[in-house]
Every structure is written in structure tokens, then in C-alpha cells.
Amino acid sequence: MIKSWIEIKENSDFSMENIPFGIGNIPGSGPKVCTRIGDTLIDISMLSKLGYFDQLGRDEDVFDKEVLNPFIAKGKSFTCGVRTIIFECFIHGGASENESSLLNERALYPADSIEMLMPLDVGDYTDFYSSREHATNVGVMFRDPENALLPNWLHLPVGYHGRASSIIVSGASIHRPKGQIKPADSPLPVFGPTRQLDFELELAFVVGKNTSLGQSVPVAEAESYIFGLLLFNDLSARDIQAWEYVPLGPFLSKNFGSVVSPWVVTMDALKPFRVPGPMQEPEVLPYLRTEGDNNIDINLEVSIQAADQPEFTVCKSNFRYMYWSMSQQLAHHTVNGCNIRIGDLYASGTISGPEEGSFGSMLELTWRGTRPIILPDGSERKFIDDGDTIIIRGHCHKENLRVGFGEAVVTILPSN
Ligand code: MN
């Protein structure tokens, strides 16, 4: 672990090797592009005012903004340059005593004292369905255990167009959504609050470069269009979903709210944790063929915290299990000429691993409610209760190097 002149606790997600980007609401001056080292938040717009990035060119101020989009739009040579300058400034011995006291006074804040805002203006959001374990579990539960995967699944990354307007940042609360539900013992639907509110453990990648309508992103170049990743909780109402999804897919069961972590971790920071993906058999069509380490070893976990109770971890999974890689998802998404825009989010789909404790939704963990989870207070969960807080965390580690995402947290309130 590289040392900084800022304190970094041993298990911090926010090591010197991370330097993620987010939007902090700085007291007295408003939303600014920020980063975080250890438990310290750094106002990058102030570093810019102090001249730290003059060598990268001083045209438009992309740090004094409400979202990261204009910063991301400057391109990877600029955003990587900013990361390098921050790294050199905050590395142990990188700043003189005068410099560090000036920075302390003007640009540094205790991270827990700053409200983090939704970091992106998300134009479009797509949700994939790329975990073979998840798709298999769902297929076994709802269709045919013998033919759990539908015939297309091994040939293309299945996805659907989601809703961008209801993506919110960690720390928010959501009222239990209402909708049409068809009870098993009745031919007619009823209207009311969902009784099967669920989370989906996912990661989402952020598009870093626009394409024009008609242009396709080749799979080998796809990563140059990806700026970074954040944690993503695709909240789902299973009873509403089961009734509405035929034949066009999820609709109101998914668009009432999805939750992201406030920090976007760059693809560069994730480089040391690259791993090969699973073998793809049958062989995929040429436009989806890839080589090399296309997956990332990211440890993920989900905890549930009932009101006034301790947290309880219900799932431990890993992003490396994904059958379809991000590059394949983006190549497939654009193969017909569909254009993509900076700030778009492409979520992985529920990330389930091979073992029971690694399933990425309550639907799978409790096997459609048939095997409830017992929380430390003795209460049972088939799905999520009112007052429950859902916490997703993710981090990579290798020897003594750690790069993490922090948290995506949401509390469920009763229906209003
Ligand atoms: Mn999903």
C-alpha cells in the first residue's frame, strides 16, 4: 500500500491507488467534483483554482459542476492526468508543509461531513442479465429446471432498457412501491404495496465517450468507451414483475428506484485486478469474441439492517463470475448502430456466484421465499421489510493493495 500524508486506515477502500471521482456538496460553495483518500474528501475544484491542473490546459472549468459528465467528456488523457497529479500531490512526501497546510485549510474535509450527490446525469440506463448462475436460478424457479437457460442466453448478453430518471445516490430512502399483483389463488389482479420487495446486487459501468447513431463499438475497443464503475442496487418488486413482465419484460417492477454508490472507480484503478472470464461454450459470434483478462475480481457483499438492529450479511459474491464481459455487453448494445452517450449507465445484472451464500437477490437466497433468512434479532426475511436498510459494498484486494467502492445504501419506508 502506497503511503499518503493523509491518514489511510489499513482496510480503507480509498487507497492512494484508487482516487475515484464523485460530486460532494461543499458547505458554502455547492456541488464540486471531489475525490477521497482514506476518510478525507478532497475538493478537486479547489485544487484546480490553486493551479494544480494548469499543465493540462485551462479552458473550461469542469470541476465546478453538479455532475461528472463534463469532466468525463474531457477524455481519458485528461482524467488520467488529473488522477496522476492528485496522486503526486498526496503521496507521502509529495507536498511541503506549507502546501499541505494550505490544502488542509482549503480543499480537505472529513468525508463523513460532506453530503455526496448523484454523480452523473444519466441519459440512458440499460440492465443486462449476464450472470449465468443468476439466469439459471431464475430459470429453475420460474420455468424448467431441465432447460433453465433460454435458447438465446449463451449467444448474446440479454438486456432491457431501464429507467434513468429514478436512479438515486446512496443514502436515500424509498417508499415501498404499489402496483398490480396477481394472487396465486385468484384469476384477477389486485392493487397494493408489493409484498416481495427485493434488491439486486449489481455493478454498473459509466460510458466515457459518445458515439453517433449508426456507429458500432468493436468489442476490442469497447473498454476505451468505459470511464469507470459504481455499485448498483436494482431494486425489484417480484410480485409486480411476475404479473407484468410477459411479453415485453420488466416495467413498473423496476423503475421505482435504483441506487448507486457515490464514487466512480476508474478502469485504471481496477487494472491490477483483471482476471479471465469463464469459458464461453458454444463459441460466440465473431463480433463478441474477446481475448485476455476481460473480467475483474471485485468482492461484493450485501447486508440487511433492520431498524435499530446490527447489520447482517446475507450475500457474498464476486464480479469475476460474470459470463458476459462489459466489452461484450457494449459491443452487443451498439452492433445495430444504437448510439451511447457520456454518463449512460450499463448495469451488469444480478451478480450471483455458484454457492447459495453468493446469490445476489433475496429471490434466490430464500429460493422464492421458501427458505427464509433469520436475522440476528430472530426475525425472518423472505423479502425486504419496511424499515430495512440494504447495504451493498465492494472492493478489490491483492496482496496489500486494496481499491474499493464504498457503499450503496438505501432504506425502505412504508408505502405512502
Ligand atoms: Mn437487474
User: What distance in angstroms lies between residue 194's CA and the mean position of ligand 1's atoms?
Assistant: 17
What is the distance between the alpha carbons of residues 199 and 194, in angstroms, rounded to a whole number?
13
Q: For residue 1, is pLDDT > 90?
A: no
What is the distance between the alpha carbons of residues 118 and 204, in angstroms, rounded to a whole number?
14
pLDDT score of 386: 98
Amino acid at 299: N
Taking alpha carbons only, the member of 376, 380, 365 closest to residue 315 is: 365
Reply yes or no on whether 332 is catalytic: no
pLDDT in tens, 64-94: 999 999 999 999 999 999 999 999 999 999 9
**Stretch 350-370: mean pLDDT, rounded?**
96
Cβ neighbourhood burial of 248 (10 Å; 0-12, 13-18, 19+): exposed
Q: For residue 117, is pLDDT > 80?
A: yes
Q: For residue 248, is pLDDT > 90?
A: yes
User: What distance in angstroms lies between residue 200's CA and the mean position of ligand 1's atoms?
Assistant: 6
What is the distance between the alpha carbons of residues 352 and 359, in angstroms, rounded to a whole number?
4
User: What distance in angstroms lies between residue 198's CA and the mean position of ligand 1's atoms?
Assistant: 10
pLDDT in tens, 282-293: 999 999 999 999
pLDDT in tens, 260-284: 999 999 999 999 999 999 999 999 9
Rg (alpha carbons) of the chain, rounded to whole number: 22
Torsion sign, CA atoms 148, 154, 155, 158: positive
What is the distance between the alpha carbons of residues 162 and 257, in angstroms, rounded to a whole number?
11
pLDDT score of 60: 77
pLDDT in tens, 97-108: 999 999 999 999
User: What distance in angstroms lies between residue 230's CA and the mean position of ligand 1's atoms?
Assistant: 14
Record the pTM: 0.97
pLDDT score of 250: 95
SS3 (DSSP) at 340: coil
Element (H, E) at 331: helix 326-334
Partners of 334 in the beta sheet?
Answer: none
User: What distance in angstroms lies between residue 130's CA and the mean position of ligand 1's atoms?
Assistant: 10
**Stretch 375-398: mean pLDDT, rounded?**
97
What is the average pLDDT value for the chain, to the nearest integer?
A: 97
Q: For residue 185, is pLDDT > 90?
A: yes
The residue from 92, 134, 175, 332 that is catalytic is: 134
> What is the percentage of the chain residues whose pLDDT exceeds 90?
98
283: which DSSP letter?
Answer: P
Q: For residue 59, is pLDDT > 80?
A: no
User: What distance in angstroms lies between residue 199's CA and the mean position of ligand 1's atoms?
Assistant: 9
Cβ neighbourhood burial of 45 (10 Å; 0-12, 13-18, 19+): buried
Residue with cell 464514487: 263
pLDDT in tens, 159-178: 999 999 999 999 999 999 99
Q: For residue 58, is pLDDT > 90?
A: no
Task: Give every CB contact of residue 362 below 8 A, 6+ residues apart in sequence.
Answer: 198, 199, 314, 373, 381, 382, 383, 384
User: What distance in angstroms lies between residue 219's CA and the mean position of ligand 1's atoms?
Assistant: 23
**Stretch 44-72: mean pLDDT, rounded?**
94
pLDDT band at 322 (very low <50, low <70, confident <90, very high): very high
Cα dihedral value 161, 391, 17, 7, nearest 10:
150
What is the distance between the alpha carbons of residues 84 and 404, in angstroms, rounded to a whole number?
18
pLDDT score of 57: 87
**Stretch 202-215: mean pLDDT, rounded?**
98
Domains of the chain (ranges; CATH) run 22-117 (2.30.30.230), 125-413 (3.90.850.10)
Is residue 340 within 8 A of residue 225, CB to CB? The reply is yes
